Every structure is written in C-alpha cells, then in structure tokens.
Amino acid sequence: MGQHLMPFSLRVVFFMISNRTDMDIFHCIVKIAAMIILFSVSSGCNKTIMHLKYGLTQPKEETPATLLLFLEKHHFPADNQYMFADSGSFIGAVRNPLFLKHLLSHMIFDRQGTMLLRDTTQCQWSGFDKIKFLSPDSAYEKCSELRLDSVTRRIQPVKGNSVKDESELEADFTIVVTWAKFIGTYNYRLFNLQDAVKQNKSARVRLIWLNVDMQESWKLTREQKMAIK
C-alpha cells in the first residue's frame, strides 16, 4: 500500500507544482505523504492485505462511466458527483496549499464561500461530529486563503448535467469531499460524511463529492502519466 499511494502523493504534486519552490508547498507535500503512510500501515496491514481488503490500486486514467460504475458497485452516492474539468483545473487547484492539504479529506465553506478552519491535530477522516452539529448561528474560525468559488469554477458534474444546482443558493454550508477511485472501498470513510449531513437538523448543507483521479479527457502525455504514477 505504501508503495502504491505514497508515490502518487509525492510525484503528482511535484509534477504539477514543479515551478513552485516555496517552503509552504513542500510542507504540504510532506503532510500528505505522512497521511498516506499513516493509514497505509494502520492496524498492521501490509500492502497485500490492504489491496485485498480495500481494493487499493495504482492511480490510472478514469472516465465518468468508470467512476459511476465504481460508485454503483460499492453503493456509494452517485448524486452531486463532480470532477475537474481538465488537467489545468486540477493543476490550478493543487497549487493552493490548503486544497493540497485537504486531498482525500473534506473542506467546509460557509454561505459566503469562506472556508472554515479544521482542527489540524485530528486525522483527515475526522469531522463527522462537526458536520452533524454545524449551525448558521454558531461562530467558527475561518480563513480566506481558499474560497469555494476557486474550487467550483474548476469542476464539472460527472454525469455531464450542466443544470445549475439550486442547493448552492440555499445552503448555509457547502462541504467539498475529495475522493479517489484508486483507494478503493477505503472511500467509505469519506462517503460516510453524508450521514452526518442527514443528521444535521440545524443547517442546510450542500455536499459536493469531488473526484481527484486522472481523467482520459485530460489527454495527458505518456511522460505526464508516468510522473503521476
């Protein structure tokens, strides 16, 4: 497992932000690598066991059809699924250290599109209770370094439906959850957050499931694919 996911976290980010040399980007890369290593060795699981148990694979090019088939097979939600419009959109998103930090995790934005800060001492899977008890009447610590529109302008529906999501206009909070097919059924830790949304009785919460796999439509060169893998 460590040999499968760790190269992705290091190499794809290095490839896409290779023209950036600031230390903030470097620290984000290290944190992502540490995160992947942490859950890859959890409960003493080795690479073979994790592959058999969760279906972990090497990152590869996907299509909307393969993503929807994966979701259906594992009974994950198929509605409100999004992906990056093109490779340039993906590159633009991961240039932001905060977005990079929340890969394979979730981000919460308020009605104005401002990001709510998370407790960085907790693991990337945490957040169920905070989402469950989100309230528009509560005060939260926020930051302006990553805004919702900087994410939504780069993505498109997996199902190709261009109709505007009316829930965007009504939501008190929007939660963007990033997931990837290559981590297999380990995604259940991410999709489980929909239960927290359902249990929230105080706020109108919009969910965006954002896939971060490579897409065939990006038309990546062989060298680019190899850099990511």
Q: Which CA distances in Å does 45 have to 10, 15, 18, 20, 78?
A: 21, 29, 33, 35, 29
For the segment 163-198, what is each residue's pLDDT rounded down to a tens digit? Answer: 455 556 689 999 999 999 988 888 998 999 999 999
Confidence band of 226 (pLDDT split at 50, 70, 90): low
CA torsion through residues 90, 96, 99, 101, sign: positive
The pLDDT value recorded for residue 23 is 36
Q: Which CA distances in Å does 25 have to 97, 117, 121, 136, 213?
A: 6, 18, 19, 32, 21
The pLDDT value recorded for residue 173 is 97
99 touches 106 (CB < 8 A): no
Q: Which residue has the higher pLDDT, 77 or 37?
A: 77
Q: Which residue has the higher pLDDT, 9 or 191?
A: 191
Q: Which residue has the higher pLDDT, 5 or 100?
A: 100
The pLDDT value recorded for residue 15 is 47
Residue 162 corresponds to which tokens in the numbers above? 């261009």
Mean pLDDT for the chain?
Answer: 77
User: Quick one: average pLDDT of 201-214?
Assistant: 94
Task: Please check the confidence at residue 51 and state whether its pLDDT lies above 80.
Answer: no
Confidence band of 26 (pLDDT split at 50, 70, 90): very low
User: Quick one: average pLDDT of 187-215?
Assistant: 94
Q: Which of 87, 24, 94 is nearest to 214 (CA)?
A: 87
Distance between CA 215 and CA 124 in Å, rounded? 24
For the segment 101-151, what is each residue's pLDDT rounded down to a tens digit? Answer: 888 889 999 999 999 998 766 665 678 999 999 999 999 999 999 999 999
DSSP per-residue codes, 111-123: TTSEEEP--TTS-
